[in-house]
Amino acid sequence: MKGLFITFEGPEGSGKSTQIKLLRQFLAERGHDVVTTREPGGTAAGDRIRSVLLDKDCGSLEPETELFLMLAQRSEHLKKVILPALKAGKTVLCDRYFDSSMAYQGYARGLGIERVRSVHEAFLPGFLPDLTVLLRIAPEVGLERARHGGAKQLDRMESEAIDFHRKVLAGYDLVAAEESDRFVIVEADGQPEKMADRIAAEISRRFEELS
């Protein structure tokens, strides 16, 4: 059985981790060998880079610095974790990936979506996912969820102004419109189980197309 590379994207608090857990269960019950991972992170070095990216003590970083750190951790992650797993026939579910760089650094930070795409094409052959689930949520609602009712301190990215988070959502919408075949778009304000059913149905259809 050939595996698929599936990424989950969305603004802060869009409920990606719940959906990844539910999809993992669904696929495992149907005999798929599933690996779940996340960005920034996914490797020991990637996790260290993650702490720089998310640590509020690092203050504001230059947009290019942010992009290059994202690319650095992605290079490790892609070559050492994602591609080997796919080669072994596994399905990879990744919490954030390339489209986060497009929406956050390319659009919201203003580096340019096309420039972010071209740097990936130049340095990371085979980087594109087979399928991307975009969980859309209004930034105000998502940030409130990310705060867990005040129980969780917001990280460096989450602490950005609301305008930044609005741009992130607009960036995702642009990218998804450009590559509509790769994207499954889900409004993330509904019941998690209903959303999971829709995602599972779409992904089963893609697996059928492959076999």
Please report, as ranges, the residues that interact with ligand TYD according to CB under 6 A: 12, 16, 39-40, 54, 70, 95-96, 100-101, 104-105, 157-158
Nearer to ligand TYD, 156 or 198 (CB): 156
- Rounded Cα gap, residues 42 and 37, in angstroms: 6
For residue 142, the surrounding DSSP H or E stretch is helix 139-146
Q: How far is the CB of 157 from ligand TYD (least distance, A)?
A: 3
Beta carbon of residue 180, minimum distance to ligand TYD (angstroms, whole number): 21
Does the N-terminal peptide bond of residue 40 adopt cis geometry, omega within 30 degrees of 0? yes
Tokens of 128: 């594109």
Q: Which is nearer to ligand TYD, 31 or 59 (CB)?
A: 59
Pick between residue 33 and residue 121 the one whose CB is nearest to ligand TYD.
121
CB of 95 to ligand TYD, least distance (A): 6
Pick the closer one to ligand TYD by CB: 70 or 188.
70
Measured from the Cβ of residue 46, the count of other Cβ atoms closer than 10 Å reads 23
Identify which of 183, 189, 177 has the alpha carbon closest to the alpha carbon of residue 140.
189
| Minimum distance from residue 147 beta carbon to ligand TYD (Å) | 12
The pair of three-digit structure tokens given for residue 56, joined into one six-digit string: 């509020």
Return contacts of 58-66, CB within 8 angstroms, 24+ apart.
58/156, 63/105, 63/109, 63/110, 63/111, 64/111, 66/104, 66/105, 66/109
Min dist CB 30 to ligand TYD, Å, is 26
CB of 89 to ligand TYD, least distance (A): 25
Nearer of residues 47 and 187 to ligand TYD, judged by Cβ: 47
**Smaller CB separation from ligand TYD, 43 or 101:** 101
| CA 15 and chain centroid, separation | 11
